[in-house]
């Protein structure tokens, strides 16, 4: 997954454009050149949450099998 990097200071000044841009690709917010946060679309966020929920459910089932 490709992402666009932008300094927090620039993102603050252009927040509306940053939010519009995440429809195309995630945006990594940087501080002093280092990534500190990510902005993703709601669709991408929902997919990440669903994947995490699925992984946690599989881990619980695996734990139940080994006990």
Kindly report whether the global pTM for this prediction surpasses the value 0.85.
no
Longest pairwise C-alpha distance within the chain: 54
Range of the domain at 61: 4-66
Q: Among candidates 64, 15, 58, which has minimal Cα distance to 39? A: 15
Q: What is the pLDDT of residue 57?
A: 87
Query: Mean pLDDT of successive 10-residue segments in the chain (67 residues)?
Result: 88 95 94 97 94 90 74
Q: What is the pLDDT of residue 1?
A: 59
> Residue 49 maps to which CATH number?
3.40.1620.10
Q: In the chain, how many domains are there?
A: 1
């Amino acid at each position: 997954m490709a992402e666009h990097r932008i300094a927090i200071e620039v993102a603050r000044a252009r927040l509306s454009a940053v939010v519009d841009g995440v429809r195309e690709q995630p945006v990594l917010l940087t501080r002093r050149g280092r990534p500190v946060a990510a902005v993703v679309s709601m669709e991408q966020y929902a997919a990440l949450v669903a994947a995490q929920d699925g992984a946690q459910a599989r881990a619980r089932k695996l734990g139940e099998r080994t006990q």
